[in-house]
Amino acid sequence: MNNPLLTAETLPPFSKIEPKHIEPAIDYLLEECRALIKIKTQSTEPFSWENFVDPIEKVEDRLNKAWSPISHINSVVNNKDIREAYNACLPKLSQYSTEMGQNKALYNAYNQIANGPDFSTLSQGQQKTIQNALRDFELSGISLTPDQQVRYREISQELTTLTSKFEENVLDATHAWKKNILDETLLTGLPESTRTLAKTTAETDGLPGWVLTLDFPCYLAVMTYADNSALRQEIYTAFATRASEVNPETAQWDNTQVMDDLLALRHEKAQLLGFNNYAELSLATKMADSSQQVIDFLEDLANKSKEHAQKDFDALQQFARQEYNVKQLEAWDINYFSEKMRQQHLELSQEEIRNYFPITRVLPGLFTIVNKLYGLTISEIHDFDRWHSDVRFFEIHDKNKVMRGKFYLDLYARPNKRGGAWMDDCVSRKNGPEGLQTPVAYLTCNFTPPSSDDPALLSHDEVITLFHEFGHGLHHMLTQVDALSVSGINGVQWDAVELPSQFMENWCWQKSALEIISGHYKSGNPLPESLLDKMLAAKNFQSGMFMIRQLEFSLFDFQIHLNFNPREPSNIYSTLSAIRNQFSVVIPPTFNRFAHSFSHIFAGGYAAGYYSYKWAELLSCDAFSRFEEEGIFNPQTGHDFLTHILEKGGSIDAMDLFVNFRGREPTIDALLQHNGIMA
């Protein structure tokens, strides 16, 4: 038992975890789970929550609490040894999951409890746990023939391996590309923070001058500010062709075959289970009723937004032509001239805004807003075990001094850390005879790190990202559901999971909230009224273009899964082209291989579910409109959102929770109004 992953500690002992511990720990815990389930299913006494479901949840929770830090360090401090150990465990976990999903004795026991006389006496969360389990048995192939079950298991294993391979290819291709710059004039236009980062990267690599990378903060800064068009083109091309056959420098990490194999295997899995396609299978655990409902929702939004998007793009083209004599906008010009136009028309510079959003002001401000909304107090803990020196740790208490949750915060980009921003669960809440298990979350971002003299300065978009991920964290940590499988984000319908995160973004646009989260990083002076007015005026700057771009991604994802045909060539880029021709106002160059690094759908949980962002945004805009009516810090409205949405986890269907909070079903109007597409 000297393996740190097998200890009973609630928080992972990160400093003690070595790659050599990983596979033996997972092997041990998987056997522990199998042994307990064998004993429980062979019992002769009547099955109940107490003697059957609860012990199984407990032993599987022990497995999850060991796997969670492994999966996390693979994402945030990736190296060859961790990756190998992580990948060695993936097929074993997949095999266990499928094995349990096809365990007839386990299925019969859950069925017996569901149809037994005591089912109605169980809590809402316990009943939902059993109902979800029976649904998941069907989705795991419990009704298949033995031969079909073998094939199902093979598919599940292959899918697990391929999704990990896709993410690794993106990570490796991203970090393989670097540009060493010796001529400082090439950096004209770049903010000081980006130059400092490029200088530091060069020093770390033992190189003179500056080093630009494809890490997102660096890439976005070049696209937005670099005056040198050739530099923008070079970096755009490298970024847009990562992990693809188009880029000879990263062709060894080409995801083309991985994507085709993923789509084929997902389709085969869906058909094995009796669905026509993977899109239908995906909807089995979502709010949306049918594929047609999803397509109609997305196309309706696209049709209502396209004219607005076209006006946005026409205005940008006219601006570039008149002010800069640029006759043809290229893909690598869009961000650059959009920023020039924003600065000129709205007299608003993103870099000027950064000065008013130091992390030292934004983070305490975020905590103050959460306190005003829900009466929660967030305090930092300094003595804890971490995976990197940047990481911080916090606890959340309610008005009655009751601990509600804890979270790790890892904010800055660095080598060997996966790009993007996310929240993940470290520990989930459960409550039983042994007492309460407090939920713990990981909150991860990739912001530009602080310099030696100054704190990290966030763009307003980064502030929104922080609020977004914190919304996910609150959903996970504030749950009051005692049944583990439906507490926090567990068991929440996937197209509703973005509701709490997108909801939190609204406070980044409210004047009284901005006063709390902003202040000049040197003087402490508040955000000037004039700058605030410009920010609010710019809120929906190019919102039509942004809306259409998100709908393009959503329709693409859904249609490649809906219309996959194993007897025809890959439909990935033909589908994307058809959607762009119908709805998009900006058509990228033919060499663009966006899909090759679209990790959300090829490596994350969003396959045939990327539409969830817009679906949940509809919910979040409509939910926030109640705050607009009653006061954005109205404690009663905050209390209602806390009790109806955040505390209920997956114990009740998302639409019922929304109606309980809002008093009616959502309408599309709030979404269009918040995006400035409808008055």
Q: Indicate which residues carry an active-site annotation.
A: 469
* CB 478 within 8 Å of CB 399: no
Per-residue HEC secondary structure of 278-301 comes to HHHHHHCCCCCCCHHHHHHHHHHH
Q: What span, in angstroms and rounded, lies between the C-alpha atoms of 320 and 322?
A: 6
Q: At what angle do helices 572-583 and 543-562 cross, to 10 degrees?
A: 140
* Cα first-last separation, the chain: 64
Q: In what order do the strands lie in the sheet with 392-397?
A: 377-381, 392-397, 403-412, 440-447, 422-427
Q: String of b and e for 311-331 (b: at least 16 CB within 10 Å)?
A: ebbeebbebbeeeeebeebeb
Alpha-carbon distance values, 627 to 290, 453, 523, 535, 646 (Å): 31, 39, 33, 21, 16
Q: Is 567 exposed, middle or buried (0-12, 13-18, 19+ CB in 10 A)?
A: exposed
CB atoms within 10 A of CB 628: 15
- Establish how many alpha carbons lie within 13 A of residue 205's alpha carbon, considering only the half-sphere containing its beta carbon: 21
Q: What span, in angstroms and rounded, lies between the C-alpha atoms of 192 and 453?
A: 13
CB atoms within 10 A of CB 165: 20
Start-end of H helices in 325-402: 334-345, 350-354, 359-374
Q: What is the DSSP string of 451-502?
A: -SSS--B--HHHHHHHHHHHHHHHHHHS----SGGGSTTTT--GGGTTHHHH
Q: Is 532 exposed, middle or buried (0-12, 13-18, 19+ CB in 10 A)?
A: middle
Three-state secondary-structure class, residue 73: helix
